[in-house]
Amino acid sequence: MIADGTRRLFWGWLLGVATCALAAAIVVALILSGIIFNTSATQPHSKVFGWGMHVTMINSVARRSRGDVPTVPLTRETLMAGARQYEAHCIVCHGGPGVARAQWASGMLPTPPYLIDAPTRWSHAELYNLVHDGVKMTGMPAWGEVESDRQVAEVVAFLEVMPKMTPDQFARLRQRLRAEQAPQSTRGAP
């Protein structure tokens, strides 16, 4: 009797597992064939999916940011170096005080955020790791692949100072950076 009941329980369990496996296989097939997941950037994520991805990102960054990261002293030189990086690599997607992102950034999904309150959202180590390691499936590159740790630390230093600038100060800083980059011949021209 007991053995018979156990056997029936076993077959029932096996049937349940097989049904779940079949259902999972069908869902996976529907995803892989492009039927139930639209990868176009015109289609916003569902609220639950978008929320889940965002929370996962926040927690993943936090977990990887428990140790120490490189820091540079806040001097005029390091901040100008960071500003130069920000102007060259960051501002098109992230904008700045009084400065919009490039128009095409609004065509990205997820769309890159403005960073004026980034230092209140993220710790120093988190900002460093976000810049250094990038963020999968967002378009944020791992800048650590192409820049030195010091350069990453410099841009993070600038990020942490940027919210303290007025839009006018930020505009003057950008003018100065552009003047720096202008070829010597035009700068010295009469």
Partner 1 sequence: MSSYHPLARASGLAFIGLLSACHGQTDVARSAGSAQLGAITIGRQACGSCHVIPGIEGADGRVGPPLAHFASQQIIAGTLPNSPDNLKRFLKAPRAVVRNGTMPDLGLSDDQIRDIAAYLYELK
What is the distance between the alpha carbons of residues 17 and 2, in angstroms, rounded to a whole number?
Answer: 22
Smallest CA-to-CA distance from 156 within 108, 97, 89 is with: 89
Q: Does 119 bind partner 1 (CB under 8 A)?
A: no
Would you say 38 or 71 has its CB closer to partner 1? Answer: 38
Q: How far is CA 81 from CA 1, 74, 156, 164, in A?
A: 81, 11, 11, 17
Q: CA-based angle 120:73:136, to the nearest 5?
A: 50
What is the distance between the alpha carbons of residues 115 and 154, in angstroms, rounded to a whole number?
Answer: 16
Contact segment (CB under 8 A) with partner 1 among 19-27, 101-109, 130-138, 151-159 equals 101-109
Q: Which of 120, 184, 185, 186 touches partner 1 (CB under 8 A)?
A: 120
Would you say 120 or 184 has its CB closer to partner 1? Answer: 120
Least Å distance, CB 152 to partner 1, is: 21
Contact 120, 64 (CB under 8 A): no
Q: Does 82 bind partner 1 (CB under 8 A)?
A: no
Q: Which of 62, 116, 140, 142 touches partner 1 (CB under 8 A)?
A: 116
Cis peptide before 167 (omega within 30 of 0): no
Q: Does 156 bind partner 1 (CB under 8 A)?
A: no
> Which residue stretches of 35-166 are H helix?
47-63, 76-85, 91-94, 118-121, 124-133, 149-161
Q: Does 56 bind partner 1 (CB under 8 A)?
A: no
Q: Which of 103, 184, 185, 186 touches partner 1 (CB under 8 A)?
A: 103
Q: Does 16 bind partner 1 (CB under 8 A)?
A: no
Please give the size of the binding site for partner 1, defined by CB under 8 A.
33
Residues that bind partner 1 (CB under 8 A): 40, 42-45, 47, 50-51, 54, 95, 97-101, 103-107, 109, 111-117, 120, 163, 166-168
